[in-house]
Amino acid sequence: MSRLLPTKTTVNSDLLKRVAEAAHSEAFTILRTSPYGLTVAEADERAAEVGRNEVAREKPPKWYAQMAEAFSSPFNGLLVVLGAVSYFTDVRMASPGKGDWTKVILLTLMISLSGLMKFWQEFRSMKAAEQLKAMVRTTATVLRRPDDPGFQFDPSQPPTQEHLVKHRREIPLADLVPGDIVFLSAGDMIPADLRVLTSKDLFVSQSALTGESLPVEKYDRPAYSVGNSAASQRGAPSVVPVNGSAANRRAANGVAKNGQSRKASGDVLDASALCFMGTNIVSGSAMGVVVNTGDRTFFGSMASSILGHRAMTSFDEGVRKVSWVLIRFTLFMVPAVFLINGITKRNWTEALLFALAVAVGVTPELLPMVVSANLAKGSIKMAKYKVIVKRLNSIQNFGAMDILCTDKTGTLTQDRVVLERHLDVTGEESYQVLRLAFLNSYHQTGLKNLLDVAIVNHAEVDNEEPVLIQYLKIDEIPFDFMRRRMSVIVQDGGGRHLLICKGAVEEIFDVCDRVQIGGELLPFDPQHRENVVRVTNDMNEDGMRVVAVAYKYIEDKALQKETYTVADEKDLVLAGYIEFLDPPKETAGEAVKALDEYGVDVKILTGDNELVAKKTCRDVGIDVRDVLLGNQIEAMTDEELADAADKITVFAKLNPLHKSRVILALRKKGHTVGYMGDGINDAPALRDADVGISVDTAVDIAKESADIILLEKSLTVLKEGVVQGRAVFGNIIKYIKMAASSNFGNMFSVLPASAFLPFLPMLPIQILILNTIYDLSQLSLPWDNMDEEFLRKPRKWDASGLSRFMLYIGPCSSVYDLTTYYLMWFVFKGWVVGPGGVFVNAGLFQAGWFVESMMSQTLIIHMIRTRKIPFIQSTATLPVVLVTSLAIATVCLIPFTALGATIGFQPLPATYWPYLAAMIVCYLIQTQMVKVFYMKKFGGEWL
Partner 1 sequence: MQEEIEKDAKQPERLGIVGTLVLHSQFILIGILVIGAAVLTILH
Which residues make up the interface to partner 1 (CB under 8 A)? 402, 596-597, 599-601, 748, 752, 756, 793-794, 808, 811-812, 814-815, 818-819, 821-822, 926, 929-930, 933-940
CB of 812 to partner 1, least distance (A): 5
DSSP secondary structure string, 25-55? HHHHHHTT--TT-B-HHHHHHHHHHH--S--
**Catalytic residue check, 513:** no
Rounded Cα distance between 517 and 533, Å, is 15
Q: Per-residue b/e over 207-238, b at no fewer than 16 CB within 10 Å?
A: bbbbebebbbbbbbbbbbbbbbeebbeebebe
Strands 387-389 and 193-205 come out as unpaired
CB of 853 to partner 1, least distance (A): 16
CB of 751 to partner 1, least distance (A): 9
Closer residue to partner 1, CB minimum distance, 286 or 823: 823
Q: Which DSSP letter does residue 88 get?
A: I
Q: Which DSSP letter does residue 729 get?
A: H
CB of 805 to partner 1, least distance (A): 13
Closer residue to partner 1, CB minimum distance, 557 or 936: 936
Closer residue to partner 1, CB minimum distance, 651 or 923: 923
Q: Which DSSP letter does residue 538 get?
A: H
Inter-residue contact 832 to 796 (CB < 8 Å): no
CB of 695 to partner 1, least distance (A): 25
CB-facing half-sphere around the CA of 580: CA atoms within 13 A? 28
Which amino acid, residue 440?
Answer: N
Inter-residue contact 311 to 732 (CB < 8 Å): no
CB of 787 to partner 1, least distance (A): 15
Rounded Cα distance between 738 and 736, Å, is 5
CB of 940 to partner 1, least distance (A): 4
Which amino acid, residue 726?
Answer: R
Closer residue to partner 1, CB minimum distance, 756 or 913: 756
Residues in the chain: 943
CB of 920 to partner 1, least distance (A): 15
Neighbours of 277 (CB within 10 A): 25
Q: Which DSSP letter does residue 38 get?
A: B
Instruction: Tally helices (H) and strands (E) across the chain.
Output: 34, 23
- Catalytic choice (188, 193, 270, 407): 407
Q: Per-residue b/e over 599-615, b at no fewer than 16 CB within 10 Å?
A: bbbbbbbbbbbbbbbbb
Closer residue to partner 1, CB minimum distance, 83 or 811: 811
Rounded Cα distance between 684 and 702, Å, is 9
Closer residue to partner 1, CB minimum distance, 122 or 817: 817
Closer residue to partner 1, CB minimum distance, 261 or 873: 873
CB of 753 to partner 1, least distance (A): 9
Inter-residue contact 186 to 478 (CB < 8 Å): yes
Q: Which helix (H) or strand (E) holds 216?
A: strand 216-217
Closer residue to partner 1, CB minimum distance, 431 or 756: 756
Strands 650-652 and 472-477 come out as unpaired
Say whether 363 sits in a helix, a strand or coil.
coil
CB of 606 to partner 1, least distance (A): 21
CB of 759 to partner 1, least distance (A): 15
Closer residue to partner 1, CB minimum distance, 831 or 896: 831
Rounded Cα distance between 837 and 228, Å, is 90
Ranges of H-type helices in 669-699: 683-688
Q: Assign residue 141 a region: left if phi > 0, alpha if psi is -120 to 50, beta otherwise?
A: beta
Handedness of CA 842, 848, 854, 857 (dihedral sign): negative
Rounded Cα distance between 638 and 652, Å, is 18
Rounded Cα distance between 487 and 245, Å, is 15
Q: Per-residue b/e over 847-864, b at no fewer than 16 CB within 10 Å?
A: bbbbbbbbbbbbbbbbbb
Closer residue to partner 1, CB minimum distance, 573 or 600: 600
Comparing C-alpha atoms, which of 867, 870, 833, 829 is closest to residue 848? 829
Closer residue to partner 1, CB minimum distance, 166 or 937: 937
Q: Under 8 Å CB-to-CB from 818, ≥6 apart: which residues? A: 749, 752
Which amino acid, residue 597?
Answer: E
Phi and psi angles of residue 181, each rounded to the nearest 5 degrees, phi first: -95, 125
Inter-residue contact 716 to 733 (CB < 8 Å): no
CB of 687 to partner 1, least distance (A): 25
Closer residue to partner 1, CB minimum distance, 332 or 822: 822
The order of strands in the sheet holding 601-605 is 387-389, 708-710, 691-695, 673-676, 403-406, 601-605, 650-652, 627-629
Closer residue to partner 1, CB minimum distance, 286 or 855: 855
CB of 374 to partner 1, least distance (A): 25
- Locate the DSSP E strands across 860-913: none
Rounded Cα distance between 439 and 428, Å, is 20
Say whether 243 sits in a helix, a strand or coil.
coil
Percentages of the chain per state (helix, strand, coil), in multiples of 5: 50, 15, 30
Residues designated as active site? 407
